[in-house]
Amino acid sequence: MYVTAALLSALLALGSLAAGAPKALLKGDVPAALQSHMGLSAGFVRFIGLAELAAAGGLVVGLFWQPLGIAAAIGLAITMIGGVAFHAKAGDYADPATRNSALSPFLFLFLAVAAAVTLGLAM
């Protein structure tokens, strides 16, 4: 079970790092889209990015100390629930042009829950 938890944690940490870094630095298309399309402030976008980066770090450290990995996965899942809610509020799931990018929080949510469960079972 630990191998599965480690693979899920590593995959989720890499994805969270890749998603969080541009938001934390406010660089690239995604932070600009979050600000213009969803009306989020730059500070809130940066906060989301920092939360994703913290989750990535927590997942990596959680490979050695599982309680931190579980907490990081749960925190990332809560962040992704917020992401799903914001995309739903913006109508991204009804618009075919934005639907694909709006589905990524669902994938991260699924992976975060799976990582938390497998880390818990591996303890």
Q: How many CB atoms lie under 10 A from the CB of residue 58?
A: 22
Q: What is the pTM of this model?
A: 0.90
What is the spatial distance between Cα 51 and Cα 23, in angstroms, rounded to a whole number?
10
Q: How confident is the model over 107-115, as a mean pLDDT?
A: 95
pLDDT of residue 122: 87
pLDDT confidence of residue 39: 87
Give the pair of three-digit tokens for residue 81. Answer: 């629930």
Q: What is the pLDDT of residues 5-47, one digit of tens each?
A: 999 999 999 999 999 999 999 998 888 888 888 888 999 999 9
At residue 66 the predicted structure's pLDDT band, cuts being 50, 70 and 90, is: very high
116-to-31, 44, 98 alpha-carbon distances in Å? 27, 26, 29
In whole angstroms, what is the distance from residue 81 CA to residue 76 CA? 9
Angle 69-70-76 (CA atoms, 0-180°, nearest 5)? 90
